[in-house]
Amino acid sequence: MTHAADDQSTMPGGDNPYVGPRNFEDNERERRLFFGRDREGADLLSLVLAERLVLFYAPSGAGKSSLLNARLFPGLRDEGFTILGRARAGGQLPDGIALETVANVYAFNVLRDIDRGQTPFAELAAQRLPDYLAAHPADADHPDRILVIDQFEEIVTTYPSQWEKREEFFRQINQALSDDPH
């Protein structure tokens, strides 16, 4: 017996709109399938455009990442923003990098994610977020940049031996915001 939900031929283009227990991705096909949260997407985009810093919080599994991928990121690109990436303040250090060699583990993890392998980890380990961003200026055609720090709760759930460096990480974020004219 075939159920209507299992019969993809009933869907336009044969696409099943239910992606299952994973995030919707930031691509055209999945943006078309993502539905029912247009107002939330528009509200989040408006908030991000109006404010320099936005905290977007919801319970695990509520679809935050899908909303970012399917609505916020495309909207920001339409507004001319360069998306530096989705970074995490926590996460496992790469092989060969000892915690004691990292100036600020939270900044290092963010830098590692936005750098995408362009800089050796040992160099990133000594850098500060505002210094890195200043050394990698925005494109003149797209001067507005955005950095999304995902899983931000990791700032309080990871690296308990480094918690005294959280305040410095927040200072780095503040300085990066202050240094950026956009």
Query: For the residues of 35-82, what is the DSSP string, one character each?
Result: -S-HHHHHHHHHHHHH-S-------TTSSHHHHIIIIIHHHHHHTT-E
160 occurs within a structural domain: yes
162 lies in some domain: yes
CB 173 within 8 Å of CB 131: no
- Structure tokens of 108? 């290092």
Q: What is the mean pLDDT of residues 62-75?
A: 82
Which phi and psi (to 5°) does residue 146 adopt?
-135, 140
More confident residue, 52 or 34: 52
Does the residue 124 lie in any domain? yes
Q: Which residues of 15-51 are buried (b: 16+ CB within 10 A; e: fewer)?
A: eeeeeeeeebbbeeebbebbeebeeebeebbeebeee
State the pLDDT at residue 39: 86
Please tell me whether residues 165 and 115 are part of one structural domain.
yes
Residue 53 lies in a domain: yes
Range(s) of the domain holding residue 121: 87-182
In a domain, 1, yes or no: no
- CA atoms of 25 and 108, how far apart (whole Å): 25
Are residue 50 and residue 95 in the same domain, yes or no? no
* Range of 48-62, 97-111, 140-154 with top mean pLDDT: 97-111
Tell me whether residue 8 is in a domain: no
Residues 40 and 102 grouped into a single domain:
no
One domain, residues 58 and 97: no
| Domain boundary, last residue among 28, 54, 79 | 79
Single-letter amino acid, residue 55? L
The pLDDT score that the predictor gives to residue 66 is 77
Do 93 and 180 reside in the same domain of the chain? yes
In a shared domain, residues 48 and 122: no
**pLDDT value at position 7?**
42
For residues 38 and 44, give the distance between their C-alpha atoms in angstroms, rounded to a whole number. 10
Q: What is the reported pLDDT for 141?
A: 83
Answer yes or no: is pLDDT of 1 > 50. Answer: no
